[in-house]
Structure 1
Amino acid sequence: MVVVTLEECVVFARDGFRWFCSTKSRPVSVAVILVFGAIKLHIYLSKRSRRKKWATAGRDVVVLHGFPRERFSPGTSPYVLKLETYLRLAKIPYVMDFTEPLGPKGLSPWITLNGEEFADSQLVIEHLGRQYNKDFSSGLTEVQRAVARTFNIMACEHLAWGLRFWRYSVDCCRGLIQSTSQVSLFLRLALFFLRWKVLKALWIQGTGRHTQKEVEHMVRQDLAAISHYLGEKPFLMGMEPCEVDCTMFGFLTQIMYNYPGSPYITMLIDDFPNLQMYQFRLRDLLWPDWNECLNPPK
């Protein structure tokens, strides 16, 4: 085993910097600086151009940034679907943008509204609810609001990790590729690095340390809790949909359309059929143009 000391690293960095600045290497140095500068300038000008274009959407029109439409559902991210479903429920005017899916926090979705940028699907929903007076949970009791918040967190912070475990660890992104409308070499390379990143996050978070059987048991418990609480009600909190239904729609849609071969589809069909019907109900109510939102449209 080779051990490199801190002093050796400092000497190596110093010598490298001296070579980079030396007369001999000056043409290479200049070329590197010019290429790097050109790339940075291109990125800056492209971002500025896109923001000018988004500004033409109109006053109080939300520009929703997310990943492109896909073959079996309007998207493969539960969080993008969650936010777009809320915009439809609230009847807030919006347009989609697929050119810059990752926002200021490096996550998707995010929105541009009247020249301002907002990130994180839940924070965006809360902000829009205040701005447009579209808080669908305001009519709930305090206990109901607490239950809705608990289910929302369970889906986004627990169920989500179980689904990631299947998609990136067990299935190795095969289902994700199958759901994607255009599979290029660049996409496969991007998915390779994304999978490596997610697997690392799964290990740090803890779900990645469990066996496949253990994770499936956790997901089953989450789905059972949602199913039992939903019962025969049309929506999770009663007769009318609210924000937590948008969250559930995003995750149930992923299981039903973008997880081919997963045990979770079987769970919905055999063990929790009311969740299937619940997803269909929300889809018919808020996504009447579902087929037109697929890529390619049906």
Structure 2
Amino acid sequence: MSKPFMRGVTYAQDMVRLYQFPRNAHIPNLSPFCLKLETFLRHAGIKHEAICSIENWKKGKEGKFPWIELNGQPYHDSDFIMQKLTNHFKLDHLEADLTDEQKGTTRAVMKMVEQSLFETALYNRLMENLETSLAVGRVKIPMKSLLMPFVKYFIHRKIHTRMEGVGLGRHTREEIYSIAKTDVKALSQLLGDKQFFFGDKPHNIDIIVWSVLAESYYMPWDNMIKGYVKDSKNLDGFMGRMKQHFWPDWEEITAKPKKNAQNKEDRGAS
């Protein structure tokens, strides 16, 4: 047994403890970065334990989710974590069949979806569907009718500041939606008539794209990105294939999110 980063916690050697946001009734995790990392763990067949509790949010070094603990050491940022796990568990074989061009495409697509597309989805979610988003996230606001205007003002101000920082804040609503539509179209063109982006089996690029699209696609209300994906029939089918491939227990997890706040999984590639 290793000495844990968090006191009172012990676990088996090479057991990854994944700290992330709570489960949700519509999707295993509302954060695309948490969803990406947990899906990667399933893809790699890494033995892990998902700790889905907001209590651990600030306990990580960067003060945000997701983060992991591996053999007593904490690691942060989903991209760095994936690289750490790839090195530690010697997972280079997962991408070994890709050409240098495909590996370069993976990097380029990751930046597009996790920066451009993610930010437009965040705009749609928190600037135009805030109350519904809060309800889906099970955020309880006492005296809602009195506090909601202040909550809206605070969140909208933070999102606007964030948008200014990444450049989107200088665009109109129509321009922001145009950026999202162009990004989704590019993904549809890249996927073409293939089952997955690089053929008949999933790779990291599929996990990255699916996780960002999932945060809009599986929401219980109509939104711009969900509509763009459904209009792109090949992407619509891709979303279903990824869910079926990596999350056969989706219905169980989302049906009882509180019960599944903590779960362990054995090593065994999907």
Tell me how far apart the structure 2 counterparts of residues 285 and 191 of structure 1 sit (CA, whole Å): 38
Tell me how far apart the structure 1 counterparts of residues 209 and 155 of structure 2 sit (CA, whole Å): 24
1:126-184 deviation line (CA, Å, top 9, x unaligned): 1101111123222211111111111111111111111111112222x22322322x332
Say whether residues 1:223 and 2:184 are aligned partners.
yes
Equivalent residue for 2:82, pick from 125, 143, 146? 125
1:244 counterpart SS class: helix
Say whether residues 1:185 and 2:141 are aligned partners.
yes
Structure 1 counterpart of 2:206, which letter? D
1:41 matched residue in structure 2 = none
1:175 matched residue in structure 2 = 132
Equivalent residue for 1:240, pick from 164, 183, 201? 201
User: Which structure would you say has the larger Rg?
Assistant: 1
Say whether residues 1:113 and 2:113 are aligned partners.
no
Tell me how far apart the structure 2 counterparts of residues 241 and 233 of structure 1 sit (CA, whole Å): 11
User: 1:141 and 1:161, CA in 2 relative to 1: closer, same or farther beyond 3 A?
Assistant: same
Contact 1:148 1:237 in 2 (8 A): no
1:101 matched residue in structure 2 = 57
User: 1:239 and 1:197, CA in 2 relative to 1: closer, same or farther beyond 3 A?
Assistant: same
Say whether residues 1:85 and 2:45 are aligned partners.
no
Equivalent residue for 2:106, pick from 123, 128, 148? 148
- Number of residue pairs the alignment of both structures matches: 246
Structure 1 counterpart of 2:162, which letter? A
Say whether residues 1:159 and 2:117 are aligned partners.
yes
Contact 2:26 2:220 in 1 (8 A): no
Equivalent residue for 1:273, pick from 233, 254, 260? 233
Contact 1:175 1:258 in 2 (8 A): no
1:6 matched residue in structure 2 = none
Contact 1:65 1:111 in 2 (8 A): yes
- What is the CA RMSD across the aligned residues, in angstroms? 2.4
Unmatched 5+ stretches in structure 1: 1-48
Unmatched 5+ stretches in structure 2: 260-270
1:259: how far off?
6.6
2:248 matched residue in structure 1 = 288
Structure 1 residue ranges, 4+ long, deviating more than 6 angstroms after superposition: 188-191
Tell me how far apart the structure 1 counterparts of residues 23 and 175 of structure 2 sit (CA, whole Å): 32
1:51 matched residue in structure 2 = 6
Specify which structure has the higher proportion of helix: 1
User: 1:58 and 1:113, CA in 2 relative to 1: closer, same or farther beyond 3 A?
Assistant: same
1:112 counterpart SS class: strand
1:101 counterpart SS class: helix
User: 1:79 and 1:143, CA in 2 relative to 1: closer, same or farther beyond 3 A?
Assistant: same
Q: Percent same amino acid among aligned pairs?
A: 29
Contact 1:159 1:222 in 2 (8 A): yes
**How high is the TM-score relative to the length of structure 2?**
0.84
1:91-123 deviation line (CA, Å, top 9, x unaligned): 101111123134311221111111111111011
1:204 matched residue in structure 2 = 165
1:137 matched residue in structure 2 = 95
1:53: how far off?
4.0
1:32 matched residue in structure 2 = none
Structure 1 counterpart of 2:90, which letter? N
